[in-house]
Chains A and B, each alone.
Chain A
Amino acid sequence: MKFLVIFIQFLVLYGFYLAGEWMSEFLNLPLPGSVIGFLLLFAALALKIYPLRWIESGAQFLLMFLSLYFIPATVGVMNYGDVFTGKGIWLIAIGVFSTLLTMAVSGYLSQRTVQSPREREVE
């Protein structure tokens, strides 16, 4: 029974994803279907169009293995071995450094603005 509920809720999630894909294509939006589907589901929940308990256990189950779904894409790195040999090794270094910089700036900025909203507004 529990499994059936999860499966049906998975199909609903897939439906939102397909709706997102469809909107992305026909409205020529720069965002992919998954991100549009995410926004659609959030809007449906926030506007109380779709109740949380009809999606909650399916979403929780799917998100338990979130990093699994990236693996087929990450294995694709094997086709790019030659790009990163020789001088290309610097591309990895640049990617790593730039990512850490992004994390530092975004994390620091958001944490600082939360800690002292008044102070920041005065500045």
Chain B
Amino acid sequence: MAIFLLSMLFAGLTIILYLVLNSLYVKYRWTVLTPVLTTTVALIAILLVFDIPYDRYMLGGQWIGSLLGPAVVALAVPLYKQRDLLLQSLLPIVIGVSGGTVVGMFSGMLLARAFHFSEEVVLTILPKSITTPVAMQLAEGFGGIPSLAAVFVMVAGFTGILAGPWLLKVLRIDSPIGRGIGLGSSAHGLGTSKAFEYGPDEASMSSVAMTLSAVIGSFLGPAIVWLFF
């Protein structure tokens, strides 16, 4: 019973913090106020102050995390509504996502190698731009560290939502397809949540990019490992 109440408390706290901090973001629209960032920082601070281990927080946290699976399924709905755009842009989507996935995997791997990190870490950073469950599975298959892979996926996600809009602007990537494919290929679901702020076309493109990069990465990743390790 005590455990159930504690779980309720952590889940409730996460939702309330998110809603409050989200309204703050909606009001000011500053990138640093992005609710997933502010809520994460606030929760980590609370857990550290009260000396609560992450595993205990996850008793309730996992309830919220378990909504991610059905939410990814739900992305099929906005995509279906934009199916005409999807069909028209099939070739640019495939070219953009494949190019991004190849560059993402190689650049992470080569840079981590150049800095002389252990092979285990190099293999772990490889799938960082791919959605968390796939990235963890891939890292495990390569001989990397799955939980650390999830951390790199978060680094990629936060980079995408915090620096992405700036980068897209600087590079004059201003079409719905360019923005959507850029965000989804590099920053998976978090990038897709950002793409929803741009509009339905960007959101659909980003969810396609996220899915396609998971498919491409599942084949490309093992091929790279087989070739280079």
B contact residues around A106 at 8 Å (CB): 96-97, 99-101, 103, 181-182, 185-186, 209
B144 CB–A CB distance under 8 Å: no
Q: Are B183 and A103 in contact (CB under 8 A)?
A: yes
Query: Which residue on chain A has the smallest CB distance to residue B47?
Result: A78
B139 CB–A CB distance under 8 Å: no
Q: Are B111 and A98 in contact (CB under 8 A)?
A: yes
A contact residues around B214 at 8 Å (CB): 31-32, 35
| Chain B 92-140 interface residues, beta-carbon cutoff 8 Å to A | 92-93, 95-97, 99-101, 103-104, 107-108, 111-112, 115, 117, 121, 125, 128-129, 131-134, 137-138
Identify which of B76, B77, B151, B181 contacts A77 (C-beta below 8 A): B151
Identify which of A45, A65, A67, A97 contacts B77 (C-beta below 8 A): A45
Q: How large is the interface on B (under 10, 10 to 19, 20 to 34, 35 or more residues)?
A: 35 or more
Q: Taking A38-B75, A72-B64, A77-B44 as contacts, is the C-beta distance between A108 and B211 under 8 angstroms?
A: no
Query: Which residue on chain B has the smallest CB distance to residue A83?
Result: B148
A contact residues around B154 at 8 Å (CB): 70, 73-74, 76-77
Q: How large is the interface on A (under 10, 10 to 19, 20 to 34, 35 or more residues)?
A: 35 or more
Q: Taking A67-B36, A104-B171 as contacts, is the C-beta distance between A75 and B74 under 8 angstroms?
A: no
Grouping DSSP codes into helix (H, G, I), strand (E, B) and loop, the B interface class, with mixed when no group exceeds half, is helix
Q: Are B72 and A35 in contact (CB under 8 A)?
A: yes
B43 CB–A CB distance under 8 Å: yes
Interface string of A86-109 (1 = CB under 8 A from B): 010011101111111111111111
Q: List the 8 closest A-B pairs by CB distance, nearest first.
A: A107-B182, A106-B100, A110-B96, A111-B178, A72-B61, A102-B104, A32-B133, A106-B185
Report which B residues bind A (CB closer than 8 A).
14-15, 18, 34-36, 39-40, 43-44, 47-48, 54, 57-58, 61-62, 64-65, 67-81, 83, 89, 91-93, 95-97, 99-101, 103-104, 107-108, 111-112, 115, 117, 121, 125, 128-129, 131-134, 137-138, 147-148, 150-152, 154-160, 163-164, 167-168, 171, 173-175, 177-179, 181-183, 185-187, 189-193, 196, 205, 207, 209, 211, 214-215, 218-219
Question: 23 A-B pairs, CB-CB below 8 angstroms?
Answer: A13-B70, A13-B74, A30-B219, A31-B215, A32-B134, A35-B215, A41-B73, A45-B77, A62-B70, A67-B34, A67-B193, A70-B193, A71-B39, A72-B65, A76-B58, A87-B115, A91-B125, A95-B156, A96-B159, A107-B181, A110-B93, A111-B178, A113-B95
